[in-house]
Amino acid sequence: MKTLLQSPPVRECAATVCSFNDGGCHAPAITVASSGDAASCATFVESSVSGGIADITGAVGACARTECVFNANLACSAESITVGPGATVSDCLTYQPA
């Protein structure tokens, strides 16, 4: 079985209250959801637990925004993405509807 070596990194995340954010995203694989007009990060969580893996940069695991130009079979083909406040506190700001 193969594992994925390269998923699009979360280059920048301005959702600093997220438990995965410590000077950037450290979640191994975020999910971007399709809820209303927002391409919101469904991995966003506020918790007293510090999330993720400190020495890795977060990456996109799956994305439900099939109408985005970067979406290919529910995965993201962008070089990298940026997350920050939009319609929700943590939207994919690289989202580009076709």
Report the interface residues with ligand SF4, using CB under 6 A: 32, 39, 60, 63, 65, 68, 70-71, 76, 78, 81, 92, 94-95
Distance CA 91, CA 98 (A): 17
Residue 50 or 85: which CB sits closer to ligand SF4? 85
Residue 51 or 86: which CB sits closer to ligand SF4? 86
Single out the residue of 2, 10, 16, 3 nearest to residue 63, CA to CA: 10
| Least distance in angstroms from the C-beta of 11 to ligand SF4 | 11
Residue 52 or 71: which CB sits closer to ligand SF4? 71
| Least distance in angstroms from the C-beta of 60 to ligand SF4 | 5
- Give DSSP secondary structure letters for 76-88: E-SS-EEEE-SSS
The CB density around residue 2, as the number of other CB atoms within 10 Å, is: 4
